[in-house]
Amino acid sequence: MQPLTNKAASVDRRPMSFMEKMYLPAIAKGMFITLKHIFTRNPTIHYPEQKREFSPVFRGLQVLNRDEEGRENCTACGLCAVACPAEAITMEAAERKEGEEHLYREEKYAAKYEINMLRCIFCGLCEEACPKDAIYLSETFTPAEYSRKQFIYNKQELLIPNRITDKEAYEKAAGKRIKRETVN
Ligand code: SF4
Ligand code: SF4
């Protein structure tokens, strides 16, 4: 049969010599490799006691952002959904009513906003497409779940806590983004 690659190695079928039959050189070679690994640095991280530093460009779970007055930034324009190559985002728009100015920054808002994390490839295009700084990818992992339905995140799960009414939760959720905002 024709090999698919040129990586095939031919098998040595010569009869074993006396030394090879004793297996001592092979055992010594194996022990040497084992000993060598004792003195090399262990790459294992003992999670959760130890945590690996994230790359500065790590992209994790999406967060729906609020403005400095705690109002939702999203205007349900749909640009993030259009930009998403995985078609992971769906939303329904609604008109802001009188008296809701403290909840929604613009006259239109997302009454429903969902991201299917089983589809998301964390490319960050939704963040780039958004003209309102309403969505960004955080430094948080998407946690493991037991059913597919649990991977569909709704607006309440994605919305960052309100920095006016729940400052502590907001700071925890915003994480490094607060530091970046402070530096910029
Ligand atoms: S990160 Fe990429 S794949 Fe995930 S929701 Fe945003 S645009 Fe879609
Ligand atoms: S997150 Fe941004 S791009 Fe997506 S619908 Fe809201 S305002 Fe538009």
Query: The CATH number of the domain where 165 resides is what?
Result: 3.30.70.3270
Question: Does pTM top 0.85 for this prediction?
Answer: no
Q: pLDDT tens across 138-169, in order?
A: 988 888 899 999 999 999 999 999 999 988 88
Look at residue 72 and tell me if it is in a domain: yes
d(Cα 67, Cα 55) in Å, to the nearest integer?
A: 27
**Number of domains into which the chain is organized:** 1
Sheet strand arrangement including 89-95: 89-95, 108-116, 152-153
Look at residue 83 and tell me if it is in a domain: yes
CA of 43 from ligand 1 middle (Å) equals 31
Residue 178: per-residue pLDDT: 58
Look at residue 177 and tell me if it is in a domain: yes
Look at residue 142 and tell me if it is in a domain: yes
Look at residue 138 and tell me if it is in a domain: yes
Task: Determine the structural domain holding residue 114 and report its residue range.
Answer: 62-183
Look at residue 39 and tell me if it is in a domain: no
Q: pLDDT tens across 93-151, in order?
A: 999 999 999 999 999 999 999 999 999 999 999 999 999 999 999 988 888 899 999 99
Residue 147: per-residue pLDDT: 94
Q: What is the mean pLDDT of residues 172-178?
A: 72
Q: Where are the beta strands (DSSP E) in the chain?
A: 62-64, 89-95, 108-116, 135-137, 152-153
Q: Is 64 exposed, middle or buried (0-12, 13-18, 19+ CB in 10 A)?
A: buried
Look at residue 46 and tell me if it is in a domain: no
Atom of ligand 2 nearest to the CA of 78: 5
d(Cα 33, Cα 55) in Å, to the nearest integer?
A: 32
Locate all alpha helices (DSSP H) within the chain, ordered by sequence.
18-22, 24-38, 79-83, 125-129, 155-158, 167-174, 176-183
Percent of the chain with pLDDT over 70: 94
- Taking CA atoms only, the protein residue closest to ligand 1 atom 3 is 120
CA of 130 from ligand 2 middle (Å) equals 5
Pairing of strands 108-116, 62-64: unpaired
Is the shortest distance between the CB of 115 and ligand 1 below 6 Å?
yes
Look at residue 108 and tell me if it is in a domain: yes
